[in-house]
Structure 1
Amino acid sequence: MNILQYESKIWATADLLRGSGIKESEWPSYMMPFFALTMIESRLVRMFDNLKAEIGEEAFASINKDDLYEMIKDQGQGYNIYIFEKNQTLADICMNDKSFDIDFDAYLHGFDGETKDLLGVDATEGEKFLDIKGVISKLKAKKVLMGYTKLWSEIDLKPFNNSEITTLEEHIKRKWADISAETAGEQYTPDDVIALIADIIASKIEESDKLLKIYDCTCGGGNLLFGVEDRINAKFKRLTQTYGQDWNDALYALAKIESRFRPDSKIEHGNTLVEDKFYNEEFDVVIANPPYGVSWKGYQKDIENDKTDRFKFIPSISDGQLLFMQHLISKLDSNGMGVVVHNGSTLFSGDAGSAESNIRKWMLDSDIVEAVIQLPTDEFFNTGIYTYLWVLNKNKSLISKDKVMLINASEKFKPLNKSKGSKRKEVDETSRLEIVETLTQYVDKEYAKVFEKEHFYFNKQAIMLTNVDEYGYSFYAKLKQGKTSEKLTPVKLSNGERELSEFVITTFDAEKYNYLADAFEKDIKPFISSLDYKEQALVITTSTAKYWFDAEQETLIKEVNGKKDLLGCGKIVVKSAYKNASKTQPERIEISVELSPDFQKDYEIIPFHKDEVDNELAIKAFMAKYITKPFAYLENVVGVELNFNKIFYKSEELREVLDIMSEINSIDAELKALELGLAL
């Protein structure tokens, strides 16, 4: 009997929700706790039946209640008084409508403490997990609680093993993901992507007596973590152990419930970035599909004060993806590997010197990135963007040492016959095997390129340009050695273009700033009145000369007795500063005027060379070729970005002019025929 035949029956329970006026987007929150209840009961009943068969009916009947409790407790799958002591299930309770409310409440409270917590039987404030208490309250208000519970009680999963129930669970969670990205779909990874991740991992591991420890730091409902484990178990005899952590109450509860029916699985609740529940563990395999573009402002202080040394750099507060990446790398053992799903921002966000660029550089410096795989668009249920698989490996083969492979798998898909939310494509088995084979071979193909890791580095060289006039001169050449400007003592200022580097005073509140009233009258008013905004240029008149800036020639001009001297490109800078009263002078606002060179800070992006001498020579060659103005070198920062568009860009093939003209003539003829038809 195929368990997937129950998928439609389970989904049919939502018909009652629809009839009760409950919005489709809210269905998962109503279905989750009851589906979990059905899975738990079926597994407990099957475990109970297996125990009876193993011990024998007569011997089992003679076991007292305390011994029975300890025996079942040792199984680690939970306990329920109704199931184990009264031989009653949810279906039995639903047979008596008169006592249903009392019996159902007693049935739920008959579970062990952990199960009650996960289901949210006594949920009040704080962590409610699946919040069955809240759901029951809403269903009671709509007078459909018993009818809804009865529908679920008719779903008998007892004939199926854990693996089959897990398969059904993943199909149901996928449907929830289709309709509600805010619940199950928030962290749901499609089956085809899970299969690709599992195949990549399988290509990197081998049979061994050593336990394979698999970790997902944002495990959600467990579909990625358990999906990878099941596929690894299908290919290898090697024993596996799964570890997962998630912050979402309901998703954690689903994963935790599932973990209790697996041979060796540990699921914890909490924010991985703030409180790593597996702080003393390292893993053979790490996997994750962390949230994209989610702010971590709410726990900023915890991240900035983190003492674990896992965060080498702190990225932008608006996106925590690279925090998860650093955390996962810190959890790898000496030979560990991983596959992490990210959006494109982790490839190129942030300029050279930014935390994002520095994280990428640290990863490539550490030679931990083996490949990045671009997946097709429309692959996930709640987004149509490109997504990327980062393949991490601390035990690279010789052919991949100090190299990174980019695989453009954006065209490796099969269209779905029917869209599932935003998901319109899937990486089919043929494409999946081809991608894994390409990664294994690690040689260039049309859609895959291998690069030395330094290919992705670049120099961001800062320089200070000295702007020159149309004759190639700068005022800098006129200054005495060691000076950066020349101060003037003006006797008159006529208006024009000017630079007030500190502030411009246009009005003055003498009452509010009465302590500056005298200074205003003495110093500021004359300055303001001397500025005529109708003039073309600011002219500084001293006792010996006049100075102004000629915009056409881009030069400072000094005029003495009618003779003009070109000083080179520069600036007239007018400054004002408040001065406290001294023994010889009252408090005042002093205005100063300086002639200074026109410096401009600029940046040049230059290809990187891993040899330090070659890199310096390349920078100098670039400057000699492209920079024509005088300049001084400032700091050089090495950045890293992985740009798929640059590497795999294909320009659109241009059409022949004759073909285009022919098409235009054809369209023109069709339009004329239509006009003629309308005229008739």
Structure 2
Amino acid sequence: MTHTSHNKLVSFIWSIADDCLRDVYVRGKYRDIILPFVVLRRIDSLLEETKVAVLAEVRFQKEELNSTELDTKGLQDASGYVFYNTSTWTMEKLKGTATNSQQKLVANFEEYLNGFSANVKEIIEKFNLSAQIRHMASKDVLLDVLEKFTSPYINLTPLEKNDPEGRPLPALSNLGMGYVFEELIRKFNEENNEEAGEHFTPREVIQLMTTLVFEPIKDQLPNIITIYDPACGSGGMLTESENYLIDEESSIGYTGDVYLYGKEINDETYAICKSDMMIKGKDPENIRVGSTLSTNEFSNMKFDFMLSNPPYGKSWASEQKYIKDGKDVIDNRFKIKLKDYWGNWETVDATPRSSDGQLLFLMEMVDKMKAPTANRVGSRIASVHNGSSLFTGDAGSGESNIRRYIIENDLLDAIVQLPNNLFYNTGIITYIWLLNNNKPKERAGKVQLLDANNLYRKLRKNLGNKNSEFSPEQITQIAQAYLENWDTNPTDSALQIKQFQNADFGYYKVNIERPKRLKAQFTKEALDTLRYEKGLQVSMQALYESYGDLVYAGLDAHAEEISKRAEKEEWGLNKKQISKLIDKSTWLKPKALYDAALQLWQYVGDEIFLDFNAFSGLIDEHVKQHKLGLSATEKKAILSAISSYDAEAEKVIKKIEKLPGDKLHQLLNHLGCGEEDLPYFGYYATSKSGEYIIYETESDLRDSEQIPLSETILTYFKREVVPHVEEAWIILDSVKIGYEISFNKYFYQHTPLRALQDITKDLLALEEQSDGLLADILKF
């Protein structure tokens, strides 16, 4: 089918909605009629030639074999497809025998629908077609729609026909039928202000994906090939994949068996995909409906090839209960094993944030990869993602863990950055991830990045958000760069290429700490904070300023007044908290602590202490000497109230620890350093052998560094941190390994600023031009 005949057919079908459904359905509901009728007419037209044979088989089974239940296999053989219809009706007959009685037409139509095989009935059910037929009949438009779809001027069959004037009507192949479906979906969605092309990927993108997936191993293809798409939509990715393999004009010309598998959550697009598989003669049971994430549908299967464009930026919160039990992952597809910094294996969470589940689809495909053997090439994946899959998520997060697992297991082969405005439903830049669990020697341990952001040709007319496309030559250019494993582009082209080692994408995320330095002094302002509970400090302080020491007798008499004040001043308290404010016990407990602090003030005085360690010891002495009975928590609260950070103060000691020799040597060996380097990790030697001071950390001064995996943490720290913050140290327990991929960082090309004299020259020219314009205006 040519582009012209395709557009003509789509326009004809599109016109049916306006001609027949106007005023009966709102425009957003046209698709609910047109799409199922396209599917139904296509199936009907395919069965027309074998209708007599099917009815003969029905009579034979009933009369000769006395069967009460019809044999499905015999009916499929008679029809020539995996579907059939045992009623005497066709859509042509329904139209031809229709009377003015809509009731009779509906009865005949329902008899026709009930005659279909179970696999077609499921499609009819997903489209809710029976209810739609009754509604159309009640509005007196059913016959009109039926006449349009059986018009001699439209050909939905795979055979060439002529219209009544003898003009040829091209045959509609299965591939062409897929194009028609997708164009109609795009137009309906666009008309309804929905995301145009929500359910499918541009054909040139699929062509690029199939080329990159199949070409490298076209001489090693197995005799039986399985292809899977976990978000198959209307089946375009599956259809194009098989077509690329078996097309006689392609470089592959595959002659073996191809089995297609898919899953789709949307009933309508599932019905379209399943009908397409039936028309092709494929097993429709290989297409499943439902959530890929909620149910591991093909849990016992592995696939040779997987191609998909999963939804991105879409929440999977409603499916979390099937994947996680609280914080624990219960679905093995999303549990992976990684080594921690110390080399110990641990099972970690491989689930991204709940607002975007696209990486879960990638892990679903990774779970379904076939292990390579001497006789099997393994599995290859092509998956489309937006930019968040490349870099979203900090070290140790689900997203980073997924990237790390894929890269450290040498599954990531290449990523192609696509131009923006290439898809129908989004203008953002997207990326094709290529995964392979059997890389050739020259690609092992490496990842190729191809930036095709500036490689496109403009469309004459926008299709939704799509205003650009790949030409066949541009697809060939990208494929050549991948197949020949270029690490740079040898030609001056819009396509940029770079190659990296796997470890280049990884980094250590390390917390850098600095010591806490505190000065301490008793002051009235500092001690006043002890009168109040921390969580109620603002409201308690306001009430104390209003009622003074009356708060210690209880504020029951002022309950209503306090409640209104809390609402007016927006304290953000619930009824329970307001009741707590009124209760005197809420006030008496902190007052006891405040009184004890006043006593300590009397003993210690107003002196400023810059050695918090000595000051803390002094407080301990007074607490013991004067039998104040303060717990460790209460003493800490007083010390916290009267101390603050001061860069001139002494470091605060947390503890002094004696490291066992074996632990010390293990630590030093792992870090590749000597005892003189231990201060860089927070261990400061005392005068006693094996004894080390560990200081308190100042959380407000805490920082973190991302250190490339290609460099040791200590080497980086000495070079990049120590010269600027000499007393900082590394917290080894904080070390996490992360992975991210940044196309902007790798492919950014700096544009130098213009010379100052050039800018000055342009400004003077503009000034002269504006003066001339002003003079011309003033002449008038």
**Superposition TM-score, scaled by structure 2 size:** 0.70
Partner residue, 1:130: 127
Partner residue, 2:444: 401
Are 1:466 and 2:515 matched, yes or no?
yes
Partner residue, 1:544: 604
* 1:597-650 Cα distance to aligned partner (Å, 9 max, x none): 471262332332347xx4543344333244334435242111100000001112
The 1:204–1:643 alpha-carbon spacing in structure 2 relative to 1, beyond 3 Å, is same
The equivalent position to 2:719 in structure 1, one of 621, 643, 647, is 621
Higher helix share: 2
Structure 2 residue runs of 5 or longer lacking an equivalent are: 161-170, 336-349, 372-377, 490-495, 544-550, 557-578, 617-627, 645-651, 653-696
The 1:108–1:656 alpha-carbon spacing in structure 2 relative to 1, beyond 3 Å, is same
The 1:501–1:359 alpha-carbon spacing in structure 2 relative to 1, beyond 3 Å, is farther
The equivalent position to 1:81 in structure 2, one of 80, 83, 86, is 86
CA distance in 1, matches of 2:268, 2:515: 62
- SS of the equivalent of 1:439 reads helix
CA distance in 1, matches of 2:402, 2:312: 17
Residue identity opposite 1:602 in structure 2:
R
CA distance in 2, matches of 1:415, 1:183: 21
Matches within 5 A, 1:154-553: 154=151, 155-160=154-159, 164-180=173-189, 185-207=197-219, 208-234=221-247, 235=250, 236-237=253-254, 238-265=256-283, 266-305=286-325, 307-312=330-335, 313-334=350-371, 335-446=378-489, 447-466=496-515, 474-475=517-518, 493-494=524-525, 502-503=534-535, 504=537, 505-506=540-541, 507=543, 510-511=555-556, 512-513=579-580, 517=584, 520=587, 524=591, 527=594, 541-547=601-607
CA distance in 2, matches of 1:448, 1:111: 54
Partner residue, 2:664: none
The 1:113–1:660 alpha-carbon spacing in structure 2 relative to 1, beyond 3 Å, is same
Q: How far has the Cα of 1:390 moved from its partner?
A: 0.5
The 1:91–1:672 alpha-carbon spacing in structure 2 relative to 1, beyond 3 Å, is farther
The 1:542–1:443 alpha-carbon spacing in structure 2 relative to 1, beyond 3 Å, is farther
- SS of the equivalent of 1:261 reads helix
Equivalent pairs counted in the alignment come to: 606
Matches within 5 A, 1:37-186: 37-48=40-51, 71-74=74-77, 75-82=80-87, 86=88, 88-95=89-96, 96-98=98-100, 99-120=104-125, 129-154=126-151, 155-160=154-159, 164-180=173-189, 185-186=197-198
CA distance in 2, matches of 1:277, 1:643: 34
Q: How far has the Cα of 1:133 moved from its partner?
A: 2.6
CA distance in 1, matches of 2:439, 2:724: 40
Structure 1 residue runs of 5 or longer lacking an equivalent are: 121-128, 468-473, 477-485, 532-538, 548-556, 559-565, 573-583
Residue identity opposite 1:231 in structure 2:
Y
* 1:435-463 Cα distance to aligned partner (Å, 9 max, x none): 11111122222501000011111111112
Partner residue, 1:593: 638
Residue identity opposite 1:369 in structure 2:
L
Residue identity opposite 1:675 in structure 2:
L
* 1:651-675 Cα distance to aligned partner (Å, 9 max, x none): 2342233333333333333333333
- SS of the equivalent of 1:255 reads helix
Partner residue, 1:28: 31
The 1:663–1:159 alpha-carbon spacing in structure 2 relative to 1, beyond 3 Å, is same
The 1:170–1:501 alpha-carbon spacing in structure 2 relative to 1, beyond 3 Å, is farther
Partner residue, 1:675: 774
CA distance in 1, matches of 2:180, 2:301: 31
CA distance in 2, matches of 1:193, 1:436: 12
RMSD of Structure 2 on Structure 1 (CA): 3.7
Partner residue, 1:551: none
The 1:286–1:526 alpha-carbon spacing in structure 2 relative to 1, beyond 3 Å, is closer
The 1:626–1:521 alpha-carbon spacing in structure 2 relative to 1, beyond 3 Å, is closer
* 1:386-416 Cα distance to aligned partner (Å, 9 max, x none): 1110000011011110111111111111111
Q: Which moved more, 1:601-610 or 1:380-389?
A: 601-610
Residue identity opposite 2:238 in structure 1:
L
Preserved contact between residue 178 and residue 382 of structure 1 (Cα < 8 Å): no
Q: Which moved more, 1:639-648 or 1:177-186?
A: 177-186
**Superposition TM-score, scaled by structure 1 size:** 0.80
CA distance in 2, matches of 1:199, 1:347: 23
Preserved contact between residue 218 and residue 289 of structure 1 (Cα < 8 Å): yes
Higher strand share: 1
Preserved contact between residue 81 and residue 111 of structure 1 (Cα < 8 Å): yes
Partner residue, 1:562: none
- SS of the equivalent of 1:461 reads strand
- SS of the equivalent of 2:279 reads coil
Are 1:603 and 2:703 matched, yes or no?
yes
- SS of the equivalent of 1:278 reads coil
Q: How far has the Cα of 1:525 moved from its partner?
A: 9.5
* 1:61-105 Cα distance to aligned partner (Å, 9 max, x none): 9966678975333445322234xxx3x421221133424333223
* 1:309-362 Cα distance to aligned partner (Å, 9 max, x none): 211212211111111111110101011011001111110011111111111111
CA distance in 2, matches of 1:211, 1:227: 17
Q: How far has the Cα of 1:186 moved from its partner?
A: 2.4
- SS of the equivalent of 1:146 reads helix
Residue identity opposite 2:363 in structure 1:
Q
CA distance in 1, matches of 2:293, 2:316: 9
Preserved contact between residue 338 and residue 392 of structure 1 (Cα < 8 Å): yes
Partner residue, 1:561: none
The 1:628–1:677 alpha-carbon spacing in structure 2 relative to 1, beyond 3 Å, is same
Residue identity opposite 1:520 in structure 2:
W
Q: How far has the Cα of 1:543 moved from its partner?
A: 1.9
CA distance in 1, matches of 2:275, 2:473: 34
Matches within 5 A, 1:563-602: 566-567=610-611, 592-594=637-639, 595=643, 597=652, 599-600=698-699, 602=702
The 1:605–1:177 alpha-carbon spacing in structure 2 relative to 1, beyond 3 Å, is farther
Percentage of pairs with the same residue: 26
- SS of the equivalent of 1:204 reads helix
